[in-house]
């Protein structure tokens, strides 16, 4: 059973700084976002959920990651009458990393902060990119 806890994982590369965003398939809303996922019964930690989602959605392995953060942002949002607490992590990946996206997404892009913000639909996703940008710079 899914609990009212959501995770967001901001994936980025440096030199130059680029953020990975994913486009949800049309039946999933047809919008751009970072990697997201839910905390489920049986999950042991928020960070483990983040690693699971990164692997499921991007085929990202721990050896592809240069640096990962602890929680960089905590917030709440409402969706279809349900209230969720969202925790955000950031992950710097190797320059050579390119994702193999899951069937939840139709495409991906590596974009500058400003370009990523133009594509993202939800304010919490934009806040996560901005927060990561401040931490990295």
Q: What is the CATH number of the domain that holds 52?
A: 3.90.79.10
**Into how many domains does the chain fold?**
1
Average pLDDT over residues 84-112: 96
Predicted confidence (pLDDT) per residue in 27-85, tens digit: 999 999 999 998 888 888 999 999 999 999 999 999 999 999 999 989 888 877 888 89
The torsion region of residue 125 among left (phi > 0), alpha (psi -120 to 50) and beta comes to alpha
Range of the domain at 53: 2-136
Average pLDDT over residues 97-111: 97
SS3 27: helix
CA 58/CA 65 separation, integer angstroms: 12
HSE toward the beta carbon, residue 33, CA cutoff 13 A: 21
Task: Kindly tell me if the per-residue pLDDT of 99 is higher than 80.
Answer: yes
């Amino acid at each position: 059973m899914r609990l009212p806890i959501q995770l967001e994982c901001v994936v980025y590369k440096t030199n130059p700084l680029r953020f990975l965003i994913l486009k949800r398939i049309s039946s999933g809303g047809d919008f751009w976002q970072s990697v997201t996922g839910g905390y489920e019964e049986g999950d042991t930690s928020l960070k483990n959920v983040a690693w699971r989602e990164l692997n499921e959605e991007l085929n990202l392995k721990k050896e592809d990651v240069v640096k990962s953060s602890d929680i960089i942002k905590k917030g709440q949002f409402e969706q279809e009458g349900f209230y969720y607490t969202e925790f955000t992590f950031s992950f710097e990946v190797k320059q050579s990393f390119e994702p193999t996206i899951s069937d939840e997404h139709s495409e991906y892009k590596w974009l500058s902060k400003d370009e990523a913000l133009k594509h993202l639909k939800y304010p919490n996703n934009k806040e996560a990119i901005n927060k990561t940008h401040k931490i990295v710079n």
